[in-house]
Amino acid sequence: MAILSLAIKSLLNRRFTASLVLISIALSVALLLGVERLRVESRNSFANTISGTDLIVGARSGSINLLLYSVFRIGDATNNISWKSYRHFANNKMVKWSIPISLGDSHRGYRVMGTSEDYFRYYRYSKHRQLEFLKGKPFEQVYQAVLGHEVAEKLGYSVGQEIIIAHGAGKTSFSMHKDKPFTVSGILAATGTPLDRTVHVSLQGIEAIHKGWIQGRKVPGLNISAERASRSDLTPNSITAFMLGLKSRIATFGLQREINEYPGEPLQAILPGITLQQLWDMMAVAENALLMVTGLVVLIGLVGMLTVMLAGLNERRREMAILRSVGARPMHILLLITGESLLLCLLGIAAGLVLLYTGLFITQPYIETLWGLYLSIGLPTEREWGLMGLIGLTGLVVGLVPGYRAYRYSLADGMSIRI
């Protein structure tokens, strides 16, 4: 305890230099833990987006691409699949439920997804949680829409308002379906997933707004009113993808093989969990590189501490000599210098934690609003404790270097005058 008390007093005596070292370590620790928290929460966010879906089916392309555009609304499909193929597998005796998906339109930068009422009944996220309505109810008519939580909050929409859907998935569109507005029938509760950034309409609504359009272009001079379009046959010719829930998990691989070998058209069925793991494997290199960079930042902070400690030893030779003269042994000197380094490191870790949680409290709502990524504010995880322990151990090892040099200083060396 006497050594600890002496180390604290020594650091207080050199408070300015110690504060700079402390700030450097705190910032590097906060950066490392922040990157780790962001990595874990982004994985959790992706994993929580879909739950309980056995197969996702789309046109034959890459499995990761199919997962990204059908679940996360990232990218576009290479091709559509026919309604006939969808009905063929939706009526399969092994299928418990099916959800069709039609993408391609947008509203003020947010994706519009055509689907059926089964979407609100069967879709699950975050460990089988069901979708809940904050306000209103599912669409029941052709020109009704259900908004994701972020869409409604950011654009200031409420139930009963009218919205105009744009043709195409870009943020800026010059082809608007102004003659066929949709009325907001409901607003979903926040999920922390891409669902919050999606406008949901019925498949019939998607077909109705494209009456009078051929290959993505409006036919000049052909104007079909909203009422007339709603009375016409609104059975889709094609959709983008569909999700399947099976009666038995045992049948998953058999049905997947049947879909992949379907002679009617080239289809691909993927298992969301396996494909998500493939996505993580692909991103592992980038994740590890980012962690390595932040780890180097922490190491640089510790090297800075080592430099300051070594630079100060020459000025502290007389201090060491006085301690020796009053009975301190060389081991006491070693423990003093090493203890100062370890104490600085531990204080830096504690300050880094404070910075991390302060940053989380301030930025959490903005990150969730801008990117739909929810960063939990909880106790450090086992991996984070491990990282902090590794930093503390490294700080101890670094502190042994100036400690050993001080250990070797003799009383005569400390008291001698060098010219």
Q: Where are the domains of the chain?
A: 2-46+283-415, 55-270
Q: How far is CA 203 from the centre of its chain?
A: 30
What is the predicted pLDDT for the residue at 419? 41
Other CB atoms within 10 A of residue 182 CB: 28
Where the chain has pLDDT below 70, the residues are: 1-4, 6, 169-174, 214-222, 315, 317, 321, 324-326, 328, 368-374, 409-419
What is the predicted pLDDT for the residue at 417? 46
What is the predicted pLDDT for the residue at 241? 96
pTM of the model: 0.73
Tens-digit pLDDT profile for residues 187-226: 999 887 889 899 999 999 999 998 877 665 666 666 788 8
What is the predicted pLDDT for the residue at 369? 60
Measured CA to CA, the distance from residue 132 to residue 189 in angstroms comes to 6
Query: Residue 134: beta bridge partners?
Result: none
Measured CA to CA, the distance from residue 247 to residue 278 in angstroms comes to 26
What is the predicted pLDDT for the residue at 416? 53
What is the predicted pLDDT for the residue at 291? 81
Would you say 395 and 302 are in contact if contact means Cβ atoms under 8 Å apart? yes
